[in-house]
Copies of this chain bind each other. A is one copy, B any other.
Amino acid sequence: MLSRRRILVSLAAVPLLPVIAHAKASHRLWQPTKPTPLAFMNRARDLARLGSERGDGTPYGAVIVQNNIIVGEGWNRSYIHHDATAHAETEAIRDAAKRLGTRDLSDCHMVTNGGRPCSMCETAAYWAQIQRMWLEDGEDVVNAGGPKYGGC
């Protein structure tokens, strides 16, 4: 039997659940001090560099951002995973979906280095309903709008 005190404590915790779940979802993901598109892009660039330096794959990185919080990250792991589909953007989308427990990322942005994603990744972002893509244009970070089916 639960004591009265225990029941009260349990009930009091209920409104906190979404917050706890969110904290868990973003657990262990690096966050920038100031959440700007450039800060998120720099994280994508870091992931790209770190991943390629250790031989995981080609130098591409991506982060998925929800309400200025990184909720998913990925880098090209096609070599290390022996998987031609392990591109940075698809890895980041899968990571965010897993952490958030939903395939609907319509309130999320995707930030990725190296220009426009390939057709596979942009269509993946389209299916995940990613709201907006932020891409690299030299040193700049540009708002490329929502992903399109087929990338065209």
Which residues of chain A have a CB within 8 Å of any CB of chain B?
Answer: 78-79, 81-87, 90, 93-94, 97-98, 100-105, 118-121, 123-124, 126-129, 149-152
Whether the Cβ atoms of A127 and B93 lie closer than 8 Å is no
Number of copies: 2
7 A-B pairs with CB atoms under 8 Å apart are A81-B103, A82-B102, A83-B94, A83-B97, A85-B94, A119-B120, A150-B152
Whether B119 pairs with A85 at a CB distance below 8 angstroms is no
In the docked arrangement, what's the CA distance between A123 and B120, Å? 5
Are the CB atoms of B119 and A151 closer together than 8 Å?
A: yes
Q: A83 contacts which of B85, B98, B126 (Cβ < 8 Å)?
A: B98
Q: How far is the CA of A128 from the CA of B105 in the complex (A)?
A: 26
Q: In the complex, are the beta carbons of A85 and B90 less than 8 A apart?
A: yes
Whole-angstrom distance between the Cβ of A125 and the nearest chain B Cβ: 9
Q: Please, which residue of chain B has its CB at the minimum distance from the CB of A130?
A: B84
